[in-house]
A and B are shown apart, each in its own frame.
Chain A
Amino acid sequence: MTTAEATEPTSVLTDSGVFVPGPGYDVPGTVERYRDSFNRTLRDELNRDADVFIMGEDISGGFDRDTLEPLDAWGGPFAATKGLVQDFGPDRIRDAPISEAGFVGAAVGAALTGLRPVVDLMYFDFVTVAYDQLLSNAAKSRYMFGGQTKVPLTLFARSGGGTGHAAQHSESFYSMLAHIPGLKVVVPSDPYTVRGLLAAAIRDDDPVFLVNDKKLINEVGFAPDESYELPLGKGRYLKHGDDVTLIGMSYTSVVCKQAADALAEEGIDAEVVDMLCLSPFDEEIIVESVKKTNRVVIVDEDTPRASMASEFAAIIADKAFDYLDAPVKRVTGPHTPVPYNKGLETAFMPQPDDVVNTVKTMLGV
C-alpha cells in the first residue's frame, strides 16, 4: 500500500480534468496491477450488494473430488476472480459449463427477475457463441416490452492480440457490441479506470459489456482504495497538446500515449484522448480536442470496416469538419483475422511507430 503523497492535492474522484492519477492526489490508493484492481472491485461489489453474483467458466477453478469444495485452482481466467469463492461461496461465484449461450441467457433471465449477474466470458471471441442472447434478449427486452423491465447485467472478457493465441482468441470487435442499441460498452485502460468503470457497470441498470485488452492485465498503475464510479459515456485526456489529437481506446490509449511521448521528443505536441466508453461515447471530448488541434489520428486494434475508428471519424466529419486542417486518419488492424506468427501478429496490431509515422506524414515532417 502506498498512500499518494500530496504536494498539491487534487481529488482524483472529483477532478474532471486530466485523469492520470498517482502520487499528487489526495486519496489513499495502491499501485497495483490492472487485474488486482479488477479483482478488488468485484469484491467490493459482492460485499455491497447481495444480489450481485458472478458466473463463468472456471471462475472457482474446479472442485475437490472428495470434499466437493471449490479449489480456485486458476483464480479464474486471468486470475480475475482469485480468492472470491473462498469468501463468497460457490453460489455467488458460480462455475459454469462451457455453455456461453446458455449461461448468458440465464444471466439475462436472472437480471430480468431482480438479480445483478456479472458474467465472465473469458475470451472476447466467445461473445459470438452468446451473441443472440446479448442482441435479442439482453439489449432489447426493455425496449420491446415498452419499458416495463430492465436488465442490470454486466459482462466482461479479454480482447486483443499479442499473446500468440491466434485467430480465434484475439478479437477486438468492439463495434459489434457498440452497434447494439440497449447495450453499453466500456473499455478501461488502466487500474484506475477499470476500478471506476467496473463498479459503475455493475451498479448500472442496463446491460454493460466491459472489455479488458489482454495487454493491460498486468499493467501497473495507481488506483484509489475507496470504491468509486466513473461515469459511463465519458472519455478523458491522458495528455494535453496542440498539434494533433490521438484518440485511443483500451490498450490503444497506451499506444497513443507512447506515441505522444515519442512525438514530444521530436517537438510535436500531441493531445491524447482516452475514450474509456464506446457506447455511449463522449462526442464532446472528441470535438473539443479536434477543434483545438485541427488534426486527428484514431487508433483502434479492431479491423477497420465499420469499426469504432470509422464511427469517430464520422462524428468528426459531421461536427468538426470546418476545423480540420488535414484528413482524419485511422490506424487500425488490417481487414484480416489475427495471425499466429509473432512477427505477423505484431504487424497486425497498431504500434506506437505506426502512429508516429502517420502523424509525421500528416504534418509533412
Chain B
Amino acid sequence: MRLTREKLHWLYETMYRIRRFEETMLEQTFRGNAMGVTHPSDGQEAVPTGICAHLTEKDWIGSTHRGHGHCIAKGLDTKAMMAEIMGRYTGQCKGKGGSMHIADFSKGMLGANAIVGASVPLAVGAALTAKYRGLENESVGVAFFGDGATSQGVVHESMNLAAIWKLPVIFACENNQYAEATPAWYAVSTDDIAARADSYGIPGVQVDGMNVFAVYEAAEEAIRRARAGEGPTLLELKTYRYHGHFHADDPKKYRKSDEEEEYLERDCIQHFERLVSQQNAMTEAELEAIRDSIEQEMQEAVDFALNSPMPPIEELYSDVYVNYSNPLVGLR
C-alpha cells in the first residue's frame, strides 16, 4: 500500500482529533455543559478515518448515535460540533439536534441518527441520486452502523436494494461487539457478519478495525468498486469502544477487563505511531506537532461553544416546513 505524506498526516491527525474530541466532549458532559446524552466513539477512530480518507465532500455518509467520529472524519468543524452538543445557536444544527443528530449537508454528512438502523437506507438513497444522475464515479454513499443494527430489518432491505440496483454504497458495519450491554455473540446469529453479504450477492470483507491501514486498504477497494459502477460492498470492521454505551454507562458491569485490555493494547493511534516510527515514515516531532495543534483546537472548540449564545425561543417553531410558517405554537 502506498500512502502520500499528506494522507499519512491526515490519518493521524483525524484519529487523534476524534480521540481528543471524545475525551474533551466527555469532560464537558460531566461538567454539565452538554445538554443531553452523549455516546463516545473513542477506540473506534480507525474506522471512519480509514474509510473517509477516500471520500470527498461530494460523497455522502449516514451515521449513528455514536457519530462524532464519522462527522470529524468527514471534515465537520469541531467548533460547530462542540457547540451543538452544548445546545448553542452556533452549533451545527442551531442547537436543535444535539449530539445524536449532528449533520452537515455541505460536507456530505447526512446526519447522525438516533434510531438504530435508520440511517442505512439514507446512504442507499444518496447512492441512488448519484446513479440517477450518472455520477457514481464521484459520489458514493457510505452507511455506518453497528453490530446491533444488523438485527434491524431495514438494514437487510437496504442491502438487497443496493445489490439489485447496483448502487455505489459501502455498508460499513462497526462491530464493536456490544449493543448497549448486549454482546454480539448473543444478539447476532453469526460471528461473521461480513459473510451475510454472500446472500445478497455482494462482496463482504472482515477487517481489523483497530488498524487504520487495514481499514484504508479495504475501503479503497470497496469505494473503487462503487465508483466503477460495480455495486455495493459490505465491510465488517472489528473494533471496540473504550467507554460505556453512553457517557454515564459503566461497561465494567458487562465487559471483562482482560478483553478491554486486549483492545487497549491494540489501540489504533498507538499502533499507527509504532508503525510510522518503525518505518521512519513520520518523526516524533511531526506527530507531536499534530497533537499540539489538536490540543489547541479542542480548547478553542470548548471556548467557542461555551461563549456561544443559546438559540432564541422562536427557533422552536422554525424549520418545520420549507414554505409554511405554522401557527400551531402549542395553542396556549
Contacts and interface: CB of A to CB of B under 8 A. Distances in A.
Most chain A beta-carbon contacts within 10 A, residue among B116, B179, B310, B316 = B316
A126 B151 CA distance: 14
Nearest to A361: B332
Task: Give the interface size class of chain B.
Answer: 35 or more
A333 B149 CA distance: 31
B181 A58 contact: yes
Contacts of B84: 340
Majority secondary structure of chain A interface residues (helix, strand, loop or mixed): loop
Most chain A beta-carbon contacts within 10 A, residue among B37, B113, B117, B331 = B331
A358 B93 CA distance: 32
B256 interface: yes
A166 interface: yes
Given A164-B35, A166-B98, 19 more contacts: A57-B179, A57-B180, A61-B182, A102-B151, A125-B115, A329-B331, A332-B330, A334-B329, A334-B330, A340-B35, A340-B84, A340-B93, A341-B95, A343-B313, A344-B95, A344-B311, A344-B316, A350-B330, A357-B332
B95 A334 contact: no
Interface of B: 34-37, 84, 87-88, 93, 95-98, 100-101, 113-117, 148-149, 151-153, 178-183, 185-188, 253-254, 256, 259, 310-311, 313, 315-317, 320, 326, 328-332
Nearest to A101: B153
A167 B330 CA distance: 17
A311 to B, nearest CB: 14
Contacts of B37: 163-165
B248 to A, nearest CB: 11
Nearest to A102: B153
Interface in A307-352: 309, 329-337, 339-344, 347-348, 350
Interface residues of A, number: 52
Contact of A341 (B152, B183, B311, B326): B311
Nearest to B116: A98
A78 interface: no
Interface in A157-185: 163-169
A129 interface: yes
Given A98-B148, A333-B330, A335-B328, A71 B253 contact: yes
A171 to B, nearest CB: 11
A63 B183 contact: yes
Given A163-B36, A304-B330, A340 B97 contact: yes
B321 to A, nearest CB: 10
Contacts of A332: 330-331
A283 interface: no
A126 B186 contact: no
Contacts of A309: 331
Nearest to B36: A164
Interface in A79-111: 95-99, 101-102
A65 interface: yes
Given A340-B98, A341-B96, A65 B259 contact: yes
Nearest to B181: A62
A187 B144 CA distance: 36
A95 B183 CA distance: 11
Contacts of A304: 328, 330-331
A58 B37 CA distance: 18
Most chain B beta-carbon contacts within 10 A, residue among A66, A98, A101, A169 = A98
